[in-house]
Amino acid sequence: MRYISAEDWELLSFFEVEPQRADPSIPWVYDDSVYLVEDGELALSFAIHPAYKDIQIILKYQGHSLYEFAATGVKDIRVLKEKDDEMLEIILSEQQKLWIRLHPSIKIVQDSREETIV
């Protein structure tokens, strides 16, 4: 897959904020974008470069970093919707995935499974 599955409008809808872009004069897929979301005293920063499939996630509480994650060349990023539930799925590899939910509150879940042949 050349680029991520998620389109700019899907991320805009998911994060419900306009991203801060490094260079708005170039197409979104080639630009660095940062989505900033606040929920009370929690703040989530999601930075992405879609063409390179690079991301950085920072979760802060009262300005103090709780969680930081950076990855280059992820396998895919997509927005998943089921009924009233929406999440951002980041596929790091066949064995590792990360999900972000914003509603009813910010939640980050990471899963790593190693396949074994018996």
* Short-list 48, 52, 87, 83, CA closest to 69: 48
Beta-strand relationship, 64-71 and 96-101: unpaired
How much is the pLDDT for 82?
Answer: 85
Q: Which amino acid is at 106?
A: I
At 25-75, the pLDDT tens digits run 999 999 999 999 999 999 999 999 999 999 999 999 999 999 999 999 999
pLDDT of residue 90: 97
Q: Residue 117: pLDDT above 70?
A: no
* Whole-number Cα distances in Å, 62 to 1, 5, 42, 99: 38, 33, 7, 22
